[in-house]
Amino acid sequence: MNSNFDLNEYIMHHVLNSHEWLLPFVSPIPLPGVLTSHALMVLFGCTIILLLFLVFYRKNERVPTGLTNCLEALIVFVRDEVAIPNLGEKDGLQFTPMLCTIFFFILTLNLMGLIPLFSTATANINVTFSLAFLIFVLLVFGTLLRNGLKGLIPFFIIIEIASILVRSVALMIRLFANMIAGHMVIMSFLGLIILFGWVAFPAIFLAVFMYCLEVFIALLQAYIFILLSAVFIGQMYHPDH
């Protein structure tokens, strides 16, 4: 047993934010100034989404093939399964672009966290806070614009805002906790190998199993985030049913 090895330190080093970009096989690259590794990952994620939709997405095809087909299937899924059933025909079509943007953003960041070159930006509570803050602002001011003050006074305005706040905080915590917990489990399985040596060889299979589960969770969390956002927006916009 390797007694010099600190499992806690190892897990936290791989999960938490840092000022250097961790790379496999080479020493970490220090990042300048305010740029941290998770901020870098957000920039990478935005670049990937922009590349996917501005360069690789061929809009003029009558019958979409290849990557265009794949992306279109996801967009139609968001429109038909999430937006329209929860928000109604008219609002659903209006909200589809926003829900699609959030969906692809979270999905890209979640899946990037599973590639060894990158780290998970959604396992940082600041990133999930900013995503949930968007929903919070939309729930408060969108309802004000849409329904006027009476949209916010089913009970009392303070209770209503408190309930919106709780829902947004739950959105934030859920994404953050799911992503960080999965990576912590994978890292603790891999840390067992360093701790115990060859005896812990079966831990690799457990780690691979958790990795496969993480791919599913990455998809599920992106779906759940927009689904719950759509449900909450639908409740606030159409309070009577």
Partner 1 sequence: MPPEISQHLGQVSAGAGIGLSVVGMGLGVGLIFASAIQSVARQPEMAKQLTTLMYIGMALVEGMALLGVVFCYLALKG
Is 174 a binding residue for partner 1 by CB under 8 A? The answer is yes
Token pair 């997405």: residue: 57
* Closest approach of partner 1 to the CB of residue 184, in Å: 7
Computed on alpha carbons and rounded to an integer, the radius of gyration of the chain in Å comes to: 21
H/E run at residue 149: none
Among 52, 71, 161, 173, binds partner 1 (CB under 8 A): 173
- The reply on whether position 206 binds partner 1 by CB under 8 A is no
Find the binder of partner 1 among 96, 120, 178, 229 (CB under 8 A): 178
Q: Which one of 213, 224, 235, 238 is in contact with partner 1 (CB under 8 A)?
A: 224
Residues 81 to 100: which contact partner 1 by CB under 8 A? 81
Binding residue for partner 1, selected from 18, 163, 223, 238, defined by CB under 8 A: 223
Q: How far is the CB of 224 from partner 1 (least distance, A)?
A: 4
Say which DSSP state 28 is in: P
The CA distances from residue 159 to 152, 165, 180, 238, in Å, are 9, 10, 31, 18
- Nearest residue to 163 via CA among 175, 177, 153, 150: 153
The answer to whether residue 135 forms part of the interface with partner 1 (CB under 8 A) is no
Give CA angle at 49 (45, 52), nearest 5°.
135
Q: Which of residues 29-88 bind partner 1 (CB under 8 A)?
A: 81
Instruction: Name, in order, each residue with C-beta under 8 angstroms of 217's C-beta and a sequence gap of 6 or more.
Output: 110, 178, 179, 182
Residue 164: how many CB atoms within 10 A of its CB?
A: 21
Q: Which of 31, 184 has the CB closer to partner 1? A: 184
159 binds partner 1 (CB under 8 A): no
177 binds partner 1, rule: CB under 8 A: yes
3-state secondary structure 130-145: HHHHHHHHHHHHHHHH
Q: Residues 138, 226, 228, 233: which binds partner 1 (CB under 8 A)?
A: 228
In the complex with partner 1, the residue whose CB is nearer, 75 or 173, is 173
Q: Which residues bind partner 1 (CB under 8 A)?
A: 8, 12, 81, 170, 173-174, 176-178, 180-181, 184, 220-221, 223-224, 227-228, 231
